[in-house]
Structure 1
Amino acid sequence: MSTDTEQLPRTSLPGLAARVRHDLPASIVVFLVSLPLSIGIAVAAGAPVAAGLIAAVVGGVVAGALGGSTLQVSGPTASLTVVVAECINQFGWATTCFITVLAGGVQILFGLGRIARGALAIAPVVVHAMLAGIGVVIALQQVHVLMGGDSLSSSWDSITGLPRQLASVHVGDLFLGLLVIVILVGWRYLPAPVRKVPGPLVAVVVATLMALVLPTQVERIVLDGTLLDEIGLPALPHGGWATVALMAVTIALIASVETLLSAVAVDRMSRNASRRTDLDRELIGQGTANMVSGAIGGLPVAAVIVRSITNVKAGAHSRASTMLHGVWILLFSVALVGVVRQIPKAALAGLLIVVGIQLIKLAHIRRAQRTGDLVVYAATVIVVVFWNLLLGMLVGLALAFALLLWRVVRVTVLAQAIELGRWRVAIDGTCTFLAMPKLAAELAKVPAGAKVTLEMTVDYLDHAAQEAIQEWVQQFRTGGGTVEFVEMGSARMADTADGAPARRHSRHMLDEVLGPWRRTGAEVDPIVAGVAAYHRGHAHLIRPHLGVLRDGQEPDSLFVTCADSRVVPNVITSSGPGDLFTVRNVGNLIPAGCRDASMEAALIYALEKLDVRSVVVCGHSGCGAMEALSSGAVTGSGLDEWLAHARPSLERYRDGHPVGVAALAAGFGPVDQLGLVNVAVQLETLYAHPVVRRGVEERGVVLSGLFFDIATARVVEVTVDGIAEIDGVERPVAAQIA
């Protein structure tokens, strides 16, 4: 008992100290950023000022405590300003609070239904366009407040009303609003130590102080009583339940999508895997916060990416930071309500104009243009600005889906003459009945009697297109022409004829490249089947390359490896014809003292005739030669005589060779440890060979060791001193033997 009591402070005090050292200062920074934004968003939505502060408190404390993220900061968000303003215009503030409660319930259902990741499937271009549209709406509305007027209900009214507002501008309000904009825009150019103080706070404080000395009157925030006095109950609507439900779902969707996108961004910034967000729990926490916020007269709540990133950059380590920031806002709103009343509306308008413009990201527009999604982006923005947010989201999603469908079913068909009497017909994409007009038009260009190479890089082929191609081929051959099929895509003519069309897994393509024998029956020669598949799918690709090599070879490396069928040198080295001069034997051995004529001939030919620049020895896991060597089994055959060349490797392994020690530490088994030592010993044997040594000293030939771990498909580097992962392209495959 006494032991537990003594240990308790030791485990709890470091955690408390860490929170004080990291989370406390981070919470203050986030509080200073959140305070002016929360007030400004409430003003922009036409809600009571206290509603923004209540939402900030609830978002910090409730969402921070119950959510699935330890670092996200929640509160009122600019992305919901437009829809909240529409709710207030239609139903009034009390019913808007009820809609917020309903939206929170919908979010809880989202979380319980475990569909959080499904919300991330919304096309990013639509989300970016929605935020940009919201930014435009906020900026248009707040321009009028900046000049001393009132925000108008629609973007069109805001645009058409600008001349009238300019004629009756209030100089004091305009000056303060522009002052805030200038400070916020210029803040990023100040020295880093100065920028540690939040720019929005400085801008609002400076504008508030300037308002006290200006000779003209300016309009200020209206806040009756303290924050506690402003707490109110929601009210049920008097009809229009369908619209109420639609508004609630809209708020829930927008708040959820913004929260999840923010969570993804925060997780990318955090290197600690233990801080990864539980997205479903996060939605439950956000939903609970919205129900509480709506129940006591607050705005809807969502995780805000700007505040969340500020929290991470400020050094927060736990959810204590976001919860404390809510506490600071509560204390400020109760104790310093008089300060809030001194804030000019124009100062908040300037702040919101900058926030709105920042929602329009030039990078998003460039990306939409680069990816061909600019039409989706522009249409979504226009509908959000001039109609409403929900319709804009629906239009954007519909256009994005239509564009996706068009891209999916698109196919390119091209028939062209490549030389006299030879034609090439290329079909690339998804070949369905929709492509038949284009297919027929291109095939009609091919003259009768020509020799045709029909290249099909097709990922999906339906029966209509398959039959059309097959009928054309038959008719063309009847007319004296020849057609050679080259099928490089995952969908094949033969597969479509055998059953329902389907997209094939990429593993099937790997089988076609590496092992067509896996699919053949006992009555078919696998080698013949493989050659047929090679002719059909890949011969034409390497034919030009082999044409260059027909008069001679210039390989880069002599590659000595085991005869084991699982080791495919060109695959594990990503090389092609003419790159490797390969020698294979049992156990990848280099007999010392020129005791093997075949290996001797290969070394001399590779180094003195082909001038290779490297010599590679590659072993592998589960090697039968190493297993026989370690077990000491005697077969009474030539294998015993051959494995005698590997006895130095066994002795070095038993003596504790550094490579064997490294292999043991890396988790390799005894046989594989011996295999790794064997590679290192063969490198030493190679270096002792006079032809190899002369190549190293005179031409800088590099000796390299590799080991292929079959179970993981990983290749590691082996030197005379140890093993290492091959993790990049900045260093050679292995170090030169010295």
Structure 2
Amino acid sequence: METDTKSDGVLTAGGIGSVLRHDLPASLVVFLVAVPLSLGIAVASGAPLAAGLIAGAAGGVVAGLLGGSVAQVSGPAAGLSLVVADLVVTYGWRATCMITLLAGVLQLLLGVCRVARSALAVSPAVVHGMLAGVGVVIALSQLHVVLGGSPQRSAIENLIELPQQIVHNHTHAVFVGLLTIAVLVTWTRLPQRLRTLPAPLAALFAASVTAWALGWEVTRIDLSASLGSWSGPVWPRGDWHGIIGAVLLVALLAGVESLLCSVAVDKLHDGRRSDLDRELTGQGVANIVTGALGGLPVAGVIVRSTTNVRAGARSRWSTIMHGIWILLFAVGLGWMIALIPMEALAALLVFIGVQMVNMGHLRNLRGHSEVPVYVVTMAGVVLLGLAEGVLVGLGLAALFALRRLTRVTVRAMAEPDGRWHVVIAGSLTFLGVPTLTSELRAIPAGAAVDLDLNIDFMDNAAFEAIHDWRNEYERTGGTVNIDEIHDEWYSMAASGARVFPAKTPPRAPDRWWLPWSHRRNGQRVSRQPLVAARHAPRDDGPASPAVPDLLEGAREFHRRTAPLVRPLLHGMARGQEPSHLFITCADSRIVPNLITASGPGDLFTVRNLGNLVPRLGSVPADDSVAAAIEYATGTLNVRTITVCGHSGCGAMAALLSGGEKASGLPAFGRWMRHGNHTLARFIEGESAGEDDGPLDRLCRVNVIQQLENLRTYPQVDRLFRAGHLELVGLYFDIGTARVHLLEHPPIASSPL
């Protein structure tokens, strides 16, 4: 959906057309969803029915007009129903309205102070767990109403009494509730053309008509009594600590839910992003208004907001008009509410409560190991209460965060030469000292130990543990060589220098492996001179995009990467000792160091079109590849020669075309003669089922043929037969970013 960001307060001629075409129909859809939900939440909160409609109207008009989201719809939220129900029991309804008003004042002040972003620091696992717990409590309490009984004082008592309700109550009220739930469950499975009404409205309509037609005895809703007994808010009586706590709880819960809802709704459309401080301010004013008029607390509601976006809303006018429709309905058509059975509203709340336990959130949290926080928060809300459950969830989330921040891993490995290699990674604090000392003391005495500290922080307890172990180990005849990959935490502490508490690992290049075209992001290319001299004359005219990309890439290397690799390269400056000769295609999509996770000094690389290895004595002669093979095996003493082909190779496509794709490229045509043996092998062989068509099979066959061509070089063949040299064939599938090991023969592959 694209929102109309221009019609944000003043309607132009074009804006009026967009409102009539998109926002007006969307507002009617949201209105039809909001009315039954507002009534149901009022029932669950123990508040007058009119309070739900007042909150719906205030949330739509006030929060819609003043809020910072163009698509979010505000109104009474099911997540606050437990809080409101408890406040009504403790202070009375009119005092609860005053608490709502004061909570709105607090939200307004927080929005003016621009602290809305800090509310997003609350763990989503706690928020979703809280909502799930509220949903369970609502469903259990309202299920008793559906079954013709009365809710108990707690969720546990509701659960204990449930079997008795199921066994003994089979009245008309039960049939109405079950019919309502049945319509809600089946409505989304109907064809789209039959679902003209929203599911909640359709369910209440079906239950009301059925109860009226069959003459069932049900409990009717009387909105007139609720409107006729209206009175303003009063100051709550009781302990002022409890009153302040209630104001804080309503303000924070409603505010956090609204802000999280705003962020979620932003993902549903392509228009302007939400101004969270303005949204919190708008929510505050809306709660002031709804509290003064005798309504429920207001918050952003994801169900109505999602409906608004899907219905095609383009601006905040849809939200505003939906609030106006609720107001007109309450004033002019309130008599229709008397036709709705109370048991049908209770069944709607049961359905809403079950939906609040969203399994999709569990799947998202599982990947971050936050499911325990979700489950504990939900259980705490159900068993202990809303505030207590949230506090328990926040405490567990804080413990999990502390555990992640202080996690340390210690790996001790024995090398073939008798040395021990120990890698310590993470944040070294006193919490990790037991694990650290246990692993270090397991190293045999008298060995040479290479200790790598890949850490971003070290406190005094961790330093003393390592330092004491090192001194003791060296006294028993061993040696310890400590190498710090990041900042020198150990060295500074050992020298008595002041260690700053901040974590300061050097910043790695941002997504260095991306192509230049994916890293521009509209940034201006710097024109500062490179460290190395530029031999080409400077041209003040327009430059090719590749030139500034290349120069900026070099500057990026000097600025970020060079400081990291300089110590490594300094040790290699006098000579190279690669272990592999890596022969691959010149294709720009193949990056040998990337697909093999290798670094400087590992690969002695040869690249050409088609990753070809001309046979010894072939015509036309090629000394370039032959010279590289001789130098790698005779001087560098490499232990492995790897030939790496790839999918969609242009050289192999030219070979498969019989030279047609090489027409007009004489040098390319002569070079491709070295692929004749590959072509002959391809024609004689058959597919092993591992390939994806003729070109893919030819690319794989070519790798195997080049391995055989390597054996035509006496030095290679002699080392191979003696077991001093290994020949390896790799195949890189570009589309899937997978490297396959090719077996010879037959031509088969296995993913690495």
Check whether TM > 0.5: yes
Please tell me whether the aligned partners of residues 486 and 505 of structure 2 are also in contact (alpha carbons under 8 angstroms): no
Judged with a 3 Å threshold, the aligned counterparts in structure 2 of structure 1 residues 533 and 428 are, in CA distance, closer, same or farther, namely farther
Alpha-carbon distance between aligned partners in 2 of 1:423 and 1:264, rounded to the nearest angstrom: 50
CA drift of 1:110 comes to 1.4
Alpha-carbon distance between aligned partners in 2 of 1:321 and 1:103, rounded to the nearest angstrom: 26
1:357-402 Cα deviation digits (max 9, x unpaired) = 1110123334445533333223222221122211211111111111
1:520-540 Cα deviation digits (max 9, x unpaired) = 9xxxxx9778535999xxx9x
Describe how 1:309-328 pairs up with structure 2 within 5 A: 309-328=306-325
1:186-216 Cα deviation digits (max 9, x unpaired) = 1221112333421111000000101102343
Q: 1:446 aligns to what SS in structure 2?
A: coil
Describe how 1:348-363 pairs up with structure 2 within 5 A: 348-363=345-360
Alpha-carbon distance between aligned partners in 2 of 1:516 and 1:232, rounded to the nearest angstrom: 67
Aligned to 1:288: 285
Alpha-carbon distance between aligned partners in 2 of 1:731 and 1:425, rounded to the nearest angstrom: 35
The percentage of counterpart residues that share the same residue type is 43
Please tell me whether the aligned partners of residues 607 and 695 of structure 1 are also in contact (alpha carbons under 8 angstroms): no
Q: 2:25 aligns to what SS in structure 1?
A: helix
TM-score of the superposed pair, with normalisation by structure 2: 0.70
Corresponding residue pairs, total: 591
CA drift of 1:582 comes to 7.9
Q: Does 1:61 align with 2:86?
A: no
CA drift of 1:158 comes to 2.0
The one-letter code matched in structure 1 to 2:320 is M
CA drift of 1:508 comes to 4.9
Alpha-carbon distance between aligned partners in 1 of 2:674 and 2:502, rounded to the nearest angstrom: 51
Please tell me whether the aligned partners of residues 80 and 250 of structure 2 are also in contact (alpha carbons under 8 angstroms): yes
The one-letter code matched in structure 2 to 1:142 is Q
Aligned to 2:270: 271
Please tell me whether the aligned partners of residues 429 and 461 of structure 2 are also in contact (alpha carbons under 8 angstroms): yes
Aligned to 2:570: 531
CA drift of 1:444 comes to 2.0
1:455-477 Cα deviation digits (max 9, x unpaired) = 33322222332343244334434
Q: 1:397 aligns to what SS in structure 2?
A: helix
CA drift of 1:134 comes to 0.3
More off after superposition, 256-265 vs 689-698: 689-698
CA drift of 1:254 comes to 1.0
Alpha-carbon distance between aligned partners in 2 of 1:128 and 1:82, rounded to the nearest angstrom: 15
Alpha-carbon distance between aligned partners in 2 of 1:368 and 1:136, rounded to the nearest angstrom: 19
Please tell me whether the aligned partners of residues 461 and 501 of structure 1 are also in contact (alpha carbons under 8 angstroms): no
The one-letter code matched in structure 1 to 2:672 is R
Judged with a 3 Å threshold, the aligned counterparts in structure 2 of structure 1 residues 690 and 383 are, in CA distance, closer, same or farther, namely closer
Aligned to 1:305: 302
1:555-589 Cα deviation digits (max 9, x unpaired) = 44399xxxxxxxx9969998754374489xxxxxx
Please tell me whether the aligned partners of residues 68 and 278 of structure 1 are also in contact (alpha carbons under 8 angstroms): yes
Aligned to 1:161: 161
Please tell me whether the aligned partners of residues 515 and 530 of structure 1 are also in contact (alpha carbons under 8 angstroms): no
More off after superposition, 498-507 vs 298-307: 498-507
Q: 2:421 aligns to what SS in structure 1?
A: strand
Please tell me whether the aligned partners of residues 19 and 318 of structure 1 are also in contact (alpha carbons under 8 angstroms): yes
Describe how 1:215-254 pairs up with structure 2 within 5 A: 215-224=215-224, 227=227, 229=228, 231-254=230-253
Among candidates 362, 384, 389, match of residue 387 of structure 1: 384
1:500-526 Cα deviation digits (max 9, x unpaired) = 154544535669997899779xxxxx9
Give the number of the structure whose residues are more often helix, by fraction. Answer: 1
Q: Does 1:413 align with 2:410?
A: yes
Describe how 1:46-85 pairs up with structure 2 within 5 A: 46-85=46-85
CA drift of 1:148 comes to 2.0
Aligned to 2:99: 99
CA drift of 1:410 comes to 2.5
More off after superposition, 416-425 vs 87-96: 416-425
Aligned to 1:131: 131
Please tell me whether the aligned partners of residues 75 and 298 of structure 2 are also in contact (alpha carbons under 8 angstroms): yes
Among candidates 579, 582, 586, match of residue 557 of structure 1: 586
Describe how 1:160-559 pairs up with structure 2 within 5 A: 160-166=160-166, 169=169, 171-224=171-224, 227=227, 229=228, 231-272=230-271, 275-419=272-416, 421-488=418-485, 492-497=489-494, 498-508=497-507, 530-531=569-570, 546-547=578-579, 549=580, 552-557=581-586
Please tell me whether the aligned partners of residues 450 and 481 of structure 2 are also in contact (alpha carbons under 8 angstroms): yes
Aligned to 2:672: 694
Aligned to 1:578: 603
TM-score of the superposed pair, with normalisation by structure 1: 0.72
CA drift of 1:421 comes to 2.7
Please tell me whether the aligned partners of residues 456 and 504 of structure 2 are also in contact (alpha carbons under 8 angstroms): no
Please tell me whether the aligned partners of residues 104 and 286 of structure 2 are also in contact (alpha carbons under 8 angstroms): yes
Alpha-carbon distance between aligned partners in 1 of 2:327 and 2:386, rounded to the nearest angstrom: 31
More off after superposition, 397-406 vs 186-195: 186-195
Judged with a 3 Å threshold, the aligned counterparts in structure 2 of structure 1 residues 692 and 328 are, in CA distance, closer, same or farther, namely farther
The one-letter code matched in structure 2 to 1:86 is D
Please tell me whether the aligned partners of residues 558 and 612 of structure 1 are also in contact (alpha carbons under 8 angstroms): no
CA drift of 1:308 comes to 0.3
Alpha-carbon distance between aligned partners in 2 of 1:516 and 1:286, rounded to the nearest angstrom: 45
CA drift of 1:450 comes to 1.8
Alpha-carbon distance between aligned partners in 2 of 1:279 and 1:63, rounded to the nearest angstrom: 12
Alpha-carbon distance between aligned partners in 1 of 2:363 and 2:316, rounded to the nearest angstrom: 36
Judged with a 3 Å threshold, the aligned counterparts in structure 2 of structure 1 residues 28 and 323 are, in CA distance, closer, same or farther, namely same
Judged with a 3 Å threshold, the aligned counterparts in structure 2 of structure 1 residues 346 and 251 are, in CA distance, closer, same or farther, namely same
Please tell me whether the aligned partners of residues 55 and 301 of structure 1 are also in contact (alpha carbons under 8 angstroms): yes
Please tell me whether the aligned partners of residues 582 and 606 of structure 2 are also in contact (alpha carbons under 8 angstroms): no
Aligned to 1:707: none
Judged with a 3 Å threshold, the aligned counterparts in structure 2 of structure 1 residues 391 and 104 are, in CA distance, closer, same or farther, namely same
Judged with a 3 Å threshold, the aligned counterparts in structure 2 of structure 1 residues 123 and 225 are, in CA distance, closer, same or farther, namely same
Alpha-carbon distance between aligned partners in 2 of 1:391 and 1:23, rounded to the nearest angstrom: 41
Q: 1:413 aligns to what SS in structure 2?
A: strand
1:621-653 Cα deviation digits (max 9, x unpaired) = xxxxxxxxxxxxxxxxxxxxxxxxxxxxxxxxx
1:328-352 Cα deviation digits (max 9, x unpaired) = 1112112212210110011011110
Please tell me whether the aligned partners of residues 687 and 693 of structure 1 are also in contact (alpha carbons under 8 angstroms): no
Judged with a 3 Å threshold, the aligned counterparts in structure 2 of structure 1 residues 62 and 696 are, in CA distance, closer, same or farther, namely farther
CA drift of 1:730 comes to 5.0
CA drift of 1:432 comes to 2.3
Please tell me whether the aligned partners of residues 415 and 424 of structure 1 are also in contact (alpha carbons under 8 angstroms): yes
Please tell me whether the aligned partners of residues 63 and 286 of structure 2 are also in contact (alpha carbons under 8 angstroms): yes
Q: 1:246 aligns to what SS in structure 2?
A: helix
CA drift of 1:603 comes to 8.0
Q: 2:583 aligns to what SS in structure 1?
A: coil
Alpha-carbon distance between aligned partners in 1 of 2:414 and 2:316, rounded to the nearest angstrom: 67
Please tell me whether the aligned partners of residues 433 and 465 of structure 1 are also in contact (alpha carbons under 8 angstroms): yes
1:299-319 Cα deviation digits (max 9, x unpaired) = 111110110010000000011
The one-letter code matched in structure 2 to 1:256 is G
Alpha-carbon distance between aligned partners in 1 of 2:560 and 2:22, rounded to the nearest angstrom: 60
Judged with a 3 Å threshold, the aligned counterparts in structure 2 of structure 1 residues 491 and 461 are, in CA distance, closer, same or farther, namely farther
Alpha-carbon distance between aligned partners in 2 of 1:80 and 1:71, rounded to the nearest angstrom: 21
Alpha-carbon distance between aligned partners in 2 of 1:224 and 1:612, rounded to the nearest angstrom: 81
Judged with a 3 Å threshold, the aligned counterparts in structure 2 of structure 1 residues 612 and 95 are, in CA distance, closer, same or farther, namely closer
CA drift of 1:246 comes to 1.1
Mark the runs of 5 or more structure 1 residues left unpaired by the alignment: 1-10, 521-525, 560-567, 584-599, 615-683, 703-727, 733-738
Alpha-carbon distance between aligned partners in 2 of 1:223 and 1:455, rounded to the nearest angstrom: 73
1:237-284 Cα deviation digits (max 9, x unpaired) = 233322122111111111111111110111111112xx2111111111
Alpha-carbon distance between aligned partners in 1 of 2:395 and 2:736, rounded to the nearest angstrom: 49
